[in-house]
């Protein structure tokens, strides 16, 4: 390989960037000492505790102006949005962890990365299948 640029190296860098955006933390953060890395930090939180490690800005739910003023309707919409956001954050964290695996052969193929991120986009914008039918390892 020598000086050749590796596509899997790019995938690794993308995975770290995605984990940085999700957590709001850099790999050089003081909390990452000894054997704890950004990759391990997110991996340990999967899937149940992803919300705890995510940047709080990503968990904010905006109420649509299209909603009626009825409290129940607004709360239902917010709960649905929150659930979609939460599940999509888990998928994005899984993608980031899979991309930033130490071993080249364990890293996610960039085609699958794009498929996963397009699915997340479609679910969040309401242009795709319901979140319950999403398949992402």
pLDDT of 39: 96
Q: What is the mean pLDDT of the chain?
A: 82
User: Is the full-model pTM beyond 0.75?
Assistant: yes
Which tokens go with 77? 């919409």
pLDDT of 129: 60
Q: Return the half-sphere exposure (C-beta side, CA atoms, 13 A cut-off) of residue 68.
A: 5
Vertex 118: Cα angle to 88 and 122 (nearest 5)? 70
For the chain, what are the domain ranges?
Answer: 7-133
- The answer for residues whose C-beta is within 8 angstroms of residue 33's C-beta and 6 or more apart is none
Least confident interval from 4-8, 10-14, 74-78, 128-132 = 128-132
Do the beta carbons of residue 100 and residue 19 sit within 8 Å?
Answer: yes
Which tokens go with 55? 């940047």
Is pLDDT of 121 > 70?
Answer: yes
| Integer Cα distance of 85 and 50 in angstroms | 11
pLDDT of 71: 57
pLDDT of 137: 47
pLDDT of 25: 95
pLDDT of 126: 78
pLDDT digits (tens, 9 = 90+) for 27-64: 999 999 888 999 999 999 999 999 999 998 888 866 55
């Amino acid at each position: 390989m020598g000086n050749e640029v590796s596509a899997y190296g790019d995938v690794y860098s993308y995975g770290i960037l995605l984990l940085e955006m999700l957590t709001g933390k850099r790999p050089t953060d003081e909390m990452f000492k000894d054997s704890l890395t950004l990759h391990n930090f997110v991996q340990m939180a999967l899937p149940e505790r992803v919300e705890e490690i995510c940047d709080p800005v990503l968990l904010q739910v905006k109420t649509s102006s299209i909603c009626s003023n009825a409290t129940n309707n607004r709360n239902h919409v917010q709960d649905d949005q929150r659930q979609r956001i939460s599940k999509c954050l888990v998928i994005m964290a899984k993608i980031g962890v899979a991309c930033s695996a130490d071993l080249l052969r364990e890293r996610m193929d960039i085609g699958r990365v794009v498929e996963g991120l397009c699915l997340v986009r479609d679910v969040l914008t309401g242009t795709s299948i319901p979140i319950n039918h999403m398949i992402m390892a």
